A and B are shown apart, each in its own frame.
Chain A
Amino acid sequence: MSGAQPDLVAANATVQALRERFPDGFLRSLVTSGQMVVYVAKQRAHDMLSWLQQDPAQRFDYLTDLTCVEYRDRERPLEVVYQLRSLARRADLRVKIPLDPDGPLEVQSVIDIWMGADWVEREAWDMFGVRFKGHPDLRRILMWEGYAEGFPLRKSFPLRGHWSRAEQTRQALQTNPEAYYSLEELAIAEAYHELPADVRDRLAKAGKVLP
């Protein structure tokens, strides 16, 4: 079957190259719905993704999407999913990093490989609580800054949240809507001093301090 599909032949070559080059990071590969999926180990994932982007034979220059999956079956790991595209070669590759849902959810950020990873990594952090080490400004993007109820797309999160509606309403009303955006986004200098200390620290580290 795979011999009849030129896409998969190319993907097979990529997988073969990955396996030879990173024997310690390559876990397994499978084909699902005509899509090659590669499982890689957390420790080597950044090197492998970097190689996939830079190697002249691979050139996966476009990060289509980055997201997470948590399965209903508790024994299955939580996965960080990278959907890669090589615009020049017209090839796709899906890379997955399995993580223990009960362990520390932390992977290396790929923002230094693909700039576009900025917001999608923030979204994965916001919804799943996966920390991306090396991300310059890792904060919530869909929920508001200071949202303390948890990570909504985790399977342990109830659909309506942990708290009562009254408590959720109270927390929401106590938010200063102007105080939770970075200065670059809104240029509201007066709200900077209302930011929580940790947010101010993070903005300072990212070089987004008040002049």
Chain B
Amino acid sequence: MGLSPLPEAAPTTHETISPNWITTRLDFIANWGRSNSLWPMPFGTACCAIEYMATAASRFDIARFGMERQSFSPRQADVLICAGRLPFKLAPVIRRIWDQMPQPKWCISMGACASSGGIFDNYAMVQGIDTIIPVDVYVPGCPPRPEGLLYGIMLLQKKIMGETMVDPSLRVEQLVGPDGLFRRPSAIDEISEPFGNSVHQTRSG
């Protein structure tokens, strides 16, 4: 079950400058600031949202990781945390929320259902939100413990610290293409394939 490459719409013809002392210092400052002041947009649909709330509350306290300010508007958010299962009915909603978030933005897929559909391998459920929006960090668990989510957040911070301004493709919006999809149909089929003790799923022609 390999992940598909980015859609072909992403332009690759940007002129790039080579990294040098100035860009790496500027990168460090910008990334340090960004990774330590992430504003999360919670998209809680199920039991994972309870664990998310526990993470945000006093005992675990994601404010320690710079997430003091929960953003309930996508327009002032940096990281979308999808906590819970995503039915097809909500797919256009999370897509619209993602499109409304300004760059730079990241996404954490929290829990088994958001990452893969989990136990809900049925007609109503998106088999992983990475068929709808790009995902940076997957947090496994059903639901994950707050420590798991905090570890995922720390992984995201580590990922942000590795970003560089000489790679302009990092900030390219990955929009829904003219075919109405964000990934290739075959990639979506592959990601959503039934597994384990499972039966046949119709493949796209």
Contacts and interface: CB of A to CB of B under 8 A. Distances in A.
A169 B123 contact: no
B99 to A, nearest CB: 11
B185 A166 contact: yes
Contact residues of A: prevailing secondary structure = loop
A159 to B, nearest CB: 5
A159 B124 CA distance: 9
Contacts of B132: 169, 173
A165 B131 contact: yes
A163 B200 CA distance: 11
Interface residues of B, number: 33
Interface string A154-193: 0001111111111111111111110000000000000000
Contacts of A157: 123
A162 B123 CA distance: 8
Nearest to B181: A170
A165 B180 contact: no
Interface residues of A, number: 25
A165 B188 contact: yes
Contact of B123 (A159, A174, A176): A159
A158 B200 CA distance: 10
Interface of B: 88-89, 91-93, 95-96, 121-124, 126-127, 131-132, 176, 179-182, 185-186, 188-189, 191-192, 194, 199, 201-205
Contact of A164 (B88, B91, B176, B203): B203
Given A160-B194, A160-B201, A161-B123, A166 B91 contact: no
B203 A173 contact: no
Given A165-B127, A165-B189, A173 B201 contact: no
Contact of A160 (B93, B95, B121, B180): B121
A149 interface: yes
B124 A143 contact: yes
B194 A177 contact: no
A163 B202 CA distance: 6
